[in-house]
A and B are shown apart, each in its own frame.
Chain A
Amino acid sequence: MIEDFRLLEKNGFRLLPYKLVTDEGSAAAAAKVMEYPVALKVVSEDISHKSDIGGVKIRIRDEAALRLAFREIMENVKGHKVDGILVQKMARKGIELIIGGKKDAQFGHMVVLGLGGVYVEIFRDVTARICPVTDDDVKEMVEELKSHPLLVGARGEKPIDMKALRKMVLGVCTFIMKEDIKELDLNPVIFDEKGGDVVDVRFTR
C-alpha cells in the first residue's frame, strides 16, 4: 500500500499527507506535523476490508482521541499480520471522484472517470476513453458525466479545479501505460476549487 502511494507520488500525483507508523507515539507526532483532523487506517496484507473489522478511524481531532483510536484499532485487528498504521490527514470537503485505469483485452489501456466514493455503484456515472487521451478528450469526459453540473459548481458552490482534474486524468493514462498497470483505482479523489487529493489507491499489475 505504501509502495503504491510512493509510486504514485513519484509519478506526479498529489496524495493527502500520510505517514506509516508502528507505535502510538510516532502516530501522535505525525498527526501533529500534518495537523488535525486525521484518520488512522490499519495497513495489512491480510485484511481487505479494513473498515469492516474496525481497522479505520476517521475525523480524529486531537492527540487524546488519536491515542485512544490507535489502541482500539490494534485491539480490533489482533491476530492479523499488521505492517503498521497509516496516519492520514483528513480530506477537505469536496466532490468525491473516481479516476481509474484498466487494460482492456482488445483496446489496451483505458482511463475511466466518474462520480466516486459510495456513489460509484449506485449511479454508475462513469465515462471512459482509450489511452492516450488528449486534453479535449478529458474535457468531453467531464461534460459527459451526469454529475457535470456538480463539478462546475451547482447551487452556489465553487467549481472544482478543472485544470487539476484534467492533469490527473492525463496523468493516469501516462502512468498506467508506462508501468503497464492492469487495473488502477484512485477512489476517492477529493476535488474542490483548490485541486484534487488522492485519498485511496488500489492497483494490480
Chain B
Amino acid sequence: MDEMLKKLKYLFAPKSVAIVGGSPVPNKIGNVLMKNLIDGKFMGKIYAVNPKYTEVLGVPCFPRVTELPKAVDCVIIATPAETVPGILEDCGQKGVKGAIVLSGGFEEVGRNDLAQMMKDISKKYKLPVIGPNCLGIFNPYTRLDSIFLPMYKLQRPGPGGIAFITQSGAVGSTVVDLAAHYGMGVSKFISYGNGTVLTECDLLEFLENDKETSIVILYLEGVKDGRRLLEWMKKVNRKKPIVALKAGKFGKAMAAARSHTGNIAGNYMAYKAAFRQAKVTEADDLVELFDFVKIFDQPMPSGNRVGVITNGGGMGVLTADAINDQGMEIADFSNESKEAIKKILPSYGSVGNPLDLVADSGVESYKKAIDVMMNDQNIDSLAIVVLTQTLPIDERIIGVLSEANDLRKKPILTISVGGDYTEAYRRAFESKGVPSFNSPLSAIKALKRLTDYAAWRNKNSD
C-alpha cells in the first residue's frame, strides 16, 4: 500500500493525463471530460485514447494506452465496465502511475468478478486506482478534473485548504458546486465510489501529510473496515480537523421495538461512537456541514467565552440565547475593556455583553469594539452581528471585519440576517474568509464545534 500511496500524488498532480474514451462527439462523457480539462486549463499534457480517432478536440489520440508515446501519470477511464480490466492491464504494462475509473457496473450491480480483476491488476503493478463508479478527482491547484459534468452546470471552486472525500458522486458534485458558490477554497475533491482499491482510509492517510489540505470533509455511506477508519480518523483529526457527514443513519434496526442492545444500537450508533472517539465533528446535514467547515478555517479559540457585538438589541439577545443553548459562556469584559467601551458608545448606550452598539452606530464603532475585544483576555471568540439594513452600515464594514480576521488572533464570525441585500454582504464577508451566518443559532452551533475541537486538541497536543 505504501508504494501505491506514494504514487497517489501523481493522480492529483499529473504532468500528463490520458482520457480513455475521449471523444469529439458532444455530450459523450469522453467529450465532457476532454473539454473540462482543456477549457479548465489543466496544467499538463492531455492525450485521448480511442481507436476511432487520431485526434480529439485538437489533442492527439491513440488506439490503446500501450501505444501512447510515453507512460502518462494519470489515466481516466470512462468506458464500459467489461473493458476496464483490460485497460488497467495496459496501464500497468505501460508503467502508468495511476488510474481513475469513473465507469459504473462493478460491485454495485453484483459484478464482483470485475472488481476482483481490478484489485488483482492494481496489486500486480502497484497501481493506485480511484473508483470505480465515481466522479474521481478535482484538484483546483493543477486543474486536474475528472468530474464528467459540464462546467456551466457545475461550478468548480478555486484553490484553498478544504479536502473533500466522498463516496457518493451526487452529493459530491453538489458540494463542489456549493463550495464554488460560497467562494470556499478546495485543496482536493475525491469521489471514490466503490472504493475497490483505494478506500477512505487510504485517502485520509494521504491527506494527513498533504501540504495543501488543512480541513477534511468526509462524506460516508458505508465503509468496509470501520476499525481502520477509526484509527485513521483519530490520527488525521489530531492534525487537521475532520468534519463528517454520515448518510443512511436509520436502518430497520431503529424501528425494532425490543429493548435489546442489538436493536437500540443500530449500525449508525457505531459510526457515531467512532466519530466521538476520534473527536471528529459530525454534521447532521449538508447545511451544517458547510456551517462547520467554514468556521474550522478560523484560529483555535483558547476557551468558550464569547464576546458579542451587535447593532440591534434583539439580535444580540437571540445570539446570547444561542450561546446559552449551546453550553457556551457569555464573556465578562475586563475592567479596561469596560472603560474603553464606554468611550465608544453614545451617551444613552450601556456597557454589557452582548455589546449593543445601537442602530446609529457606524463602521467606526465596530472597528473600535472589535479592537477592544481582540485584546481582552476574558474573551475567547467574537460573534459579530451586523444588521446591514441600518443606515450607518456601508461597505467599509467588509474591510474592518477582514482586517480583524487577518490578525488570526481569535476566531470571529458574523451574523447577518436579511434578504438579498444582506446576502450580498454575507458573500462579501465570506470572500474575505470571514465566516458569516444567517441565523444566530447556526453560527453559535458552529462556534461550539470549533471550541470543543480546540479544547480537545489543546489537551492532547504533545
Contacts and interface: CB of A to CB of B under 8 A. Distances in A.
Q: Do A and B come from one complex?
A: yes
Choose among B222, B257, B264 the residue with the greatest number of A CB atoms under 10 Å from its CB: B264
B227 interface: yes
Interface string A167-199: 000000000000000011101000000000000
Given A110-B265, A129-B273, A121 B223 contact: no
B461 interface: no
Interface residues of B, number: 24
A128 B273 CA distance: 5
Contacts of A105: 267
A107 B267 CA distance: 9
Choose among A98, A107, A144, A183 the residue with the greatest number of B CB atoms under 10 Å from its CB: A107
A184 B261 contact: yes
Contacts of A202: 260
Interface in B365-404: none
B132 to A, nearest CB: 21
Contact of B272 (A100, A102, A128, A184): A128
Contacts of B274: 107, 130
Contacts of A107: 226-227, 230, 270-271, 273-274
Interface in B201-257: 222-227, 229-230, 257
A130 B264 contact: no
B227 A130 contact: yes
Contacts of B260: 100, 183, 185, 202
Nearest to A122: B259
B1 interface: no
Contact of A106 (B259, B267, B272): B267
Contact of A104 (B224, B226, B257, B276): B226
A108 interface: yes
A106 B225 contact: yes
Choose among A106, A108, A129 the residue with the greatest number of B CB atoms under 10 Å from its CB: A106
B335 to A, nearest CB: 34
A45 B260 CA distance: 18
A98 B269 CA distance: 16
Given A128-B272, A129-B273, A112 B226 contact: no
A114 B223 CA distance: 26
Given A107-B227, A108-B226, A130 B277 contact: yes
Contacts of A106: 222-227, 229, 267, 270
Contacts of B222: 106
A128 to B, nearest CB: 4
A24 interface: no
Interface string A109-133: 0101010000011001011111001
B262 interface: yes
A101 interface: yes
A100 B226 contact: no
A96 to B, nearest CB: 12
Interface of A: 98, 100-102, 104-108, 110, 112, 114, 120-121, 124, 126-130, 133, 137, 140, 144, 183-185, 187, 202
Interface of B: 222-227, 229-230, 257, 259-262, 264-265, 267, 269-274, 276-277
27 contacts: A100-B260, A100-B264, A101-B261, A106-B225, A106-B229, A107-B227, A107-B270, A107-B273, A108-B226, A108-B227, A110-B269, A110-B270, A112-B264, A112-B269, A114-B264, A120-B259, A121-B259, A124-B264, A128-B269, A128-B272, A128-B273, A130-B273, A130-B274, A130-B277, A133-B277, A183-B260, A185-B261
Given A98-B259, A105-B267, A185-B261, 15 more contacts: A102-B261, A104-B226, A107-B270, A107-B271, A112-B264, A112-B269, A121-B259, A126-B264, A127-B273, A128-B270, A128-B272, A130-B227, A130-B230, A183-B261, A202-B260
The 5 closest A-B pairs by CB, nearest first: A100-B261, A107-B226, A106-B226, A120-B259, A128-B273
